């Protein structure tokens, strides 16, 4: 079945920073589901991340096996670093993801120089993955970005801060023109995801099946 990938959709230029966060959350949820099925993502290249049938997915997924990694924790470690690296490249100003993802070691070594590209509430997470987990080989306390974002949101809300995850986003608002009607579907899905984050979790399971 025909699909579009992140390069086709011009994700880098069409999404603002909050929508990129939603995209990473969706991919984080999908990745976690694969891990629960004893599978792992084997490519985070933008051309291997697709949008099809109202959902984002990874094109390259394989069963976790000794031919790929030593154990499941190692598979999860590789995957959360891969997704975080994709996030780094999405947020990095003036970087064209069509050139491919940056080398993880470069991102890790230079992270402090670019930490401000991330929203302040996300900096601890990306540091825990791109720097700490990569250097130690140990999974962070909260491996998945979606889980971190939700926990962070709950913590901020309990402190009286305004929850950013419940920002209303109109479907199709970021379409460049009417010919990009398919792109509007993405933002409709993003809007639904925002609603999920504030209590409609059952819909998430429906869309990701």
pLDDT, tens only, 29-44: 999 999 999 999 999 9
CATH of 4-164, one of 3.30.1490, 1.10.3470, 1.10.510, 1.10.10: 1.10.510
CA dihedral sign, ordered 57, 60, 61, 64 = negative
Instruction: Write down the pLDDT at residue 101.
Output: 94
pLDDT, tens only, 101-158: 999 998 999 999 999 999 999 999 999 999 999 999 999 999 999 999 989 888 776 6
pLDDT at 183 over 60: no
13-27, 41-55, 180-194: the lowest-pLDDT one: 180-194
Residues composing the chain: 209
Best-predicted range by mean pLDDT (14-18, 92-96, 162-166): 92-96
pLDDT band at 161 (very low <50, low <70, confident <90, very high): low
Cα angle 193-7-75, degrees, rounded to a multiple of 5: 65
Per-residue burial over 36-64, b if 16 or more Cβ lie within 10 Å, else e, is eeebbbbebbbebbbbeeeebbbeebeeb
Please answer whether residues 142 and 170 qualify as being in contact, where contact means their C-beta atoms are separated by less than 8 angstroms.
no
Domain assignments of the chain as residue spans, ordered by start = 4-164
**Three-class HEC string of 115-146:** HHHCCHHHHHHHHHHHHHHHHHCCCCCCCCHH
Return the H-helix or E-strand segment holding 55. Answer: strand 55-58
Q: Which two tokens stand for residue 24?
A: 């990473």
Q: In this structure, what are the phi and psi dihedrals at residue 170, rounded to the nearest 5 degrees? A: -70, 140
Residue 133 CB burial class (10 angstroms; 0-12, 13-18, ≥19): buried
9-18, 145-154, 158-167, 170-179: the lowest-pLDDT one: 170-179
């Amino acid at each position: 079945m025909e699909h579009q990938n992140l390069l086709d959709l011009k994700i880098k230029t069409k999404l603002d920073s909050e929508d990129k966060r939603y995209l990473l959350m969706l991919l984080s949820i999908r990745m976690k589901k694969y891990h629960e099925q004893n599978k792992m993502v084997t490519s985070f290249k933008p051309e291997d991340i697709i949008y099809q049938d109202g959902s984002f997915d990874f094109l390259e997924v394989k069963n976790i096996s000794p031919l790929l990694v030593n154990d499941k924790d190692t598979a999860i470690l590789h995957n959360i670093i891969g997704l975080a690296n994709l996030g780094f490249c999405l947020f990095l100003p003036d970087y064209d993801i069509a050139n491919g993802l940056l080398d993880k070691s470069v991102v890790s070594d230079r992270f402090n120089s670019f930490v401000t590209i991330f929203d302040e509430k996300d900096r601890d997470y990306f540091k825990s993955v791109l720097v700490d987990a990569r250097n130690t080989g140990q999974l962070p306390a909260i491996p998945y970005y979606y889980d971190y974002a939700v926990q962070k949101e709950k913590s901020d809300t309990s402190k009286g801060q305004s929850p950013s995850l419940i920002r209303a986003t109109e479907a199709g608002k970021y379409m460049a023109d009417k010919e990009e009607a398919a792109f509007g579907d993405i933002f409709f899905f993003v809007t639904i995801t925002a609603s999920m984050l504030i209590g409609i979790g059952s819909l998430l399971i429906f869309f990701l099946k």
